[in-house]
Amino acid sequence: MELPQKPTPLSKILITTIVIASLLIGGLLGYSLGYLTTSEKLNDLESQLSTLQEQMSNLQSTQNVINQNNTFILGENVSLSGLYEQVKDSVVIIRGVIVQYDIFHRAYYTQVQGSGFVYNFTGGMVIITNYHVVESTINVTVTFINGNGYAATVLGSDPYADLAVLLTDAPQSEFKPLEIVSSSTLKVGDIVVAVGNPYGLAGSMSIGVVSALGRTITEETGGYPIANIIQTTAPLNPGNSGGPLLNLQGQVVGITTAIVSDSQGLGFAIPSNTILREISSLAITGSYNRHPWLGATGVDMTYEIAKAMGVNVTYGWLITQVTSGGPAANAGLRGGTKQVLIAGEYVTVGGDIIIAINETRITDMDTLSTYLEENTTPGQKINVSIVRENQTMTVAVTLGTRP
């Protein structure tokens, strides 16, 4: 019987070598595959990092341009700081004193202040401001941003447009007049800048947009509406009154005039068209008496009023009362006949509803006042379309002058 042969030393060495080689080759293959996978991942990460660094660099460059130059404002290539430097010397503080008397007829004095701006009227330098800034004042002064103050007098005023023109004895070197351009080109959304002296803080600037056009506000003096008012979001405060409302070229498109108490971002400005229309008369004659007058009072139509009246028109201006001997009365327009409780308020109904003037649609008091102020003059005959007892008719009215 033969016993199994033992492996020779050479066989052992060969087997050991093959095993070791296999292990080495497997290890090398595994390492290579792992290295390639890791390398790909590292390359991807490096690429992503490079992209992020490039994006950060672009953002930083953009931020630096904005911080350094203040150049790009909502797509407009305008420097607001440059605009301010352009106009700041043209805006003045206006101060005056009002004399009042107590119950014992003893005089006491109250100082009032507002803003104004320099304008070149046919070669003569004047200051334009609001009427209510200088109303019933004495000892009026104007102070430029450099601190120099001078006495001033009221050259002319119009309470029904809240405008006043002042004359001052300042030397010519103080005057840096602003340009006034037509407000007809303004659109809702246009950027506007207000410069004035809120609370006496000289040369303050604020920015906003035109939030509405063709508004109508009523000042205390006379109770007449001021038409075609610009509504703006530019922050206004007491003391801003009389300051310029500017476009991004530094041109005057209005004059800030009023704010609504406790409102957020709601201010009003007289349109520059009104200034351009009246400046000559104010500076030369001291007044302006070319405001057209219809001689009627009324309310805006609503769905509720239309339903209560049994009419099929929900827009327009409902005449509640006509002035005896006035243009509306002379033309045969009718006021209301009875009072009705509508939505918790008494409304005088039964009068004519104005829906158009010279074929221009009238939707409310704003459009009525704006059309009359912008397109008509006293003595002009207009065609007024009305709804009376559910019938549409046209009445010719000759406008008068505000009494």
Active site residue ranges: 132, 162, 241
Phi, psi of 98 (to 5 degrees): -110, 130
Instruction: Please state whether beta strands 225-232 and 267-271 pair in parallel, antiparallel, or not at all (unpaired).
Output: antiparallel
Residue 211 buriedness (CB in 10 A; 0-12 / 13-18 / 19+): middle
User: From CA 176, how far away is CA 174, in angstroms rounded?
Assistant: 7
Count, in order, helices (H) and strands (E) of the chain: 7, 24
- According to DSSP, the β-strands at 252-259 and 244-246 are antiparallel
The 3 state secondary structure assigned to the chain is: CCCCCCCCHHHHHHHHHHHHHHHHHHHHHHHHHHHHHHHHHHHHHHHHHHHHHHHHHHHHHHHHHHHHHCCEECCEECCHHHHHHHHHHHEEEEEEEEEEECCCCCEEEEEEEEEEEEEEECCEEEEEECHHHHCCCEEEEEECCCCCEEEEEEEEEECCCCEEEEEECCCHHHCCCCCECCCCCCCCCCEEEEEECHHHCCCEEEEEEEEEEEEEEECCCCCCEEEEEEEECCCCCCCCCCCEEECCCCCEEEEEEEECCCCCCCEEEEEHHHHHHHHHHHHHCCCCCCCEECCEEEEECCHHHHHHHCCCCCCCEEEEEECCCCHHHHCCCCCCCEEEEECCEEEEECCCEEEEECCEECCCHHHHHHHHHHHCCCCCEEEEEEEECCEEEEEEEECEECC
